[in-house]
Chain A
Amino acid sequence: MTLAQYQLAEQLEQALGNPHQVESLMSFQRTAELDEAEQFPHDEIAWLYSWGLQNYYIPTECGGKFTSFEEFVAFVRVLARRDLNISIAFTTLFWSFLTWMAGSDEQKQTLSQLMSEDHTAMCLAYSEREHGSDLVGGGVTATKVAGGYLLNGEKWPINRATISGVTYVLARTDPDGGNRGLSLFMVEKQYLEPSQYYNLPKIKTHGIRAADMSGIGFSDCFIPDRMLLGPEGHGLELGLKGFQITRALCAAFSQGAADTTMRTTLNFAVNRQLYGKTVIDMPHARRTLTNAFVDMLICDCVNIGAARGFHVATDQFSVWSAVDKYFVPVTLEQVMKETSVVLGSRFYMRDEHDSGVFQKALRDSAIISMFDGSSVVNLHALILQRRQLAKARLRIRQKPDQLAALKVRLAQSFSLDQSLPPFEPNRLELFSRGADDVMQGLESTLADLEAWQGSGQSMSSQPVNQAVLSQVIELGKVILEEINAQDALITQSAFEHGHDQSFESFELAKQYCHLHAAIACILMWMHNRNHEDMQGFFAEGEWLVLSLHRLLSRFRRSLTPPPSTYYENVAQELLQLHQADKMFSIVPFQLAQRSRAPAIAAPCLVT
C-alpha cells in the first residue's frame, strides 16, 4: 500500500495477528471469553498502550503522532474488526480532542503526558439518568468556591466512568445562565478526595458486555480552578463541537464490525456444500453478499471522505458529521442483518463458527447508532439546517468564485493522494451556514464527468470505461433531480423549530443522507481512479454504478437494472479480498494472514 495514511493500520494488523488464530492477542476466541465473562479487557488495553497507539490520538503539536483522521479511522477499523469491547474502551481517548480544542497549553501538556506516559484513559460524563440527551436540562452543578468549584450530582450511563483517570464533566455553573450556564471540566480523578465522589455499579448490557458501562457521582466534590476547560459558560458549545468530531469517527466502529460479519459469513459460504453446490455459488446468497459489499463500499466513500473533509471543510461538520453518523451505522446494521441470512442459524450461535463472532459483532455494534448522538438526534440536526442548505445551494450557483473554491476543497477532501492541512478544531461551527460542499458540488461534478465523455478526457488520465461513465452520469442526473425536488419542497414548506418535527421531515433528512452518500461515491471514484493503488476494480467503476443504483432505488423503482456482469465482477472482487485477507474497502489494505506468526507477547513499539 503506497498510501502512507494506511500503513499504520497495516502495521497494527501485523502486530495483532490473525484473529482467527486462538493464540493471537485479540483472537475471536479470546474476545468471546471476555464478553461471556463480562470482564474488562485490561490486558489487551495495556498491550495497545505499550505498542504506543495512544500517541496517535495526540496531535503532533501536543507531542503526539496524530496527523489525520483518515489514518485514525483506518486503525480504528483494525481494532473494531477484532472486538468492539476493546476498540470502544480504548477509543474513549478520542475525547482528548476536547482538550486539544479548548485546553490551555498547560492542560494540553498535562493530558499529553497522562496519555502517553501514564497510560491514562478518559470518559465523557454528559448524560444523566433523568435527562438523557437534553444536556441543557442536566442537574449536575459546579458551584464556585474559593480556588475552585464544588461538584454535585450523578452522571449515568457513562462508558469507562469507573476505569478511567480523566473524566470530562459537563456541569451547570450558573443556574440562570441558560445555554451559557454550563461549563466543561477536565477532572483528573487522582486529585479528588476519594470520599467526595463515587462510582455507580456496572450496567448489564445486551452487547459490549465487557465494557465498563457505569456512572459517577459527586458529593460536594472539590475541583481546583485549573480543571475548568475553556471559559466558564462555554461547556455546551464545546460539548456540541466535540460531538461533531466523535460522531464521524464512530462510523469506523461499524465498519470494523461489518468487515468481520462479512468475513465470517464468507468463511462459511465458500466452504459449505448444499444441494451439490457451495453456498456462494447459489444466486441468492451470491447477490445478497454482493449487495452487502456494495453497501460497505458506499459507507467507505462517505466515511473516508468525511475523515479527510474534517481537515478541509471543518466548518461544515454540523452537516457532514450528522450524515456520516446517521448513514454509516444504520446502513451497516442493515448489511449485517442481510448477511446473516446467508450464514443461516450459525449467525445466532455463541460458541459455533469462528467463536460465534457474528452474533457478538451484531450485539456489540447495535449501540453505535445510539451513542454520541442517536440517529434521531443526527437527523434532527439536519432537519434544522435543511432550509439553509437549500437556500445556500441556490445562491452558490450564481457565485462562480465560490464554486471554484468549493471544487478545490472537494478535490482535497476526496483525493487520497493529496496532503491534508492539520486539523484545526477551532474552525468547527455549531451550524454550517447552509454549506455542504458534497451536495453543492454535484452540478460541477456532473459537468466534469460529461467533459470526460468522448475525447474530452485529459491525456494523462487512465482511459475511462465509456459505458460506466454514461451510466454514472445518467444516475448522477437522477440525484440532481431528486435534490432539486427536495430543495423546492423544503423552501416552500413552513419551517418548524424545536422538537415537534414531523415524521415526514425525518424521512426527508434520511433521503438527504442517501443523496449525499451517492455524490460521495462519485467524488471518490473521479478523484482516485488514476491512483496507482486504485487501479483495476476501483478504477473500472462498475461498483460505482451498482452503488448509485442501490442508493437511488429507494427514490426510483424504475431505474434500468445494471448489467449482470457488474454484479459478477464485484462478487469476484469480494471473494479475492476474502481469500487474500484484505480489508473489504475501497482501500483494501493488507490484514494479518493466517500463515503469519501470531502476535508476540512482548509488544514492539512503532517508530
Chain B
Amino acid sequence: MQQLQNPSASEPLTQPTPVSKIQSWLVDQLADVLSLDPTTIDVKQPLTRYGLDSIDAVTLVGDLEDWLDLELPSTLLWDYPSIEKAAAHMVEEFDVTL
C-alpha cells in the first residue's frame, strides 16, 4: 500500500477518505502501467483518454480486487469510466474498508 502514502499531486494532503484513497491508487496504477506522469492524470477524464483499452480496464479491476480483497464486477471501469466515477461508485456500493 505504498501508493497510499503518496497521493497524486491533484489530491490535497488532508485526511484521506476511502474515495480519495481509491482515486489515488488508481492514479498511481494507471501512471505505472501506462508510463505516465501521475500529475498529468485528471480523475474526471475517461480512462480511455489515457490509452486504457477495454481488456486493460478489465485487468485493472482484477488488480483492484486484489488490493481491496473484494469481488467487483469485471466491467466496473466500463460502467464507471473515469477514476472519479469508479471510486465514488465503489465506496457507495461495496463494503470497502481502507
Contact = CB atoms under 8 A, between A and B. Distances in A.
A179 B59 contact: no
Given A178-B46, A388-B62, A431-B74, A381 B54 contact: no
Interface string A228-263: 000000001100100000000000000000000000
Nearest to B75: A237
Of the four ranges (under 10, 10 to 19, 20 to 34, 35 or more), the interface on chain A belongs to 20 to 34
Interface string B61-98: 11001100001001100110100000000000000000
Interface core residue of B46, B56, B62, B71 (most chain A CB under 10 Å): B62
Contact of B51 (A237, A385, A498): A498
Interface in A109-141: 135-136
Nearest to B52: A497
A498 B60 CA distance: 11
Secondary structure class of chain B's binding surface, majority of residues: helix
Nearest to B59: A384
Nearest to A236: B54
A180 B78 contact: yes
Given A431-B74, A497-B34, A136 B56 contact: no
Interface string B27-54: 0000001100000000000101001111
A496 interface: yes
Contacts of B81: 178-180
Interface string A423-466: 00000011101100000000000000000000000000000000
Contact of A431 (B51, B58, B78): B58
B4 interface: no
A499 interface: yes
B9 interface: no
A391 interface: yes
Nearest to B78: A179
Interface residues of B, number: 24
B74 A388 contact: no
A388 B71 CA distance: 14
A580 to B, nearest CB: 46
Contact of A497 (B56, B71, B74, B75): B56
Contact of A498 (B34, B61, B62): B34
Nearest to B81: A178
A555 interface: no
Contact of A136 (B53, B60, B65, B75): B53
A429 B66 CA distance: 17
16 contacts: A179-B48, A180-B78, A180-B79, A236-B78, A384-B56, A385-B62, A388-B62, A388-B66, A430-B58, A430-B75, A431-B58, A431-B62, A433-B65, A496-B33, A498-B52, A499-B53
Interface of B: 33-34, 46, 48, 51-62, 65-66, 71, 74-75, 78-79, 81
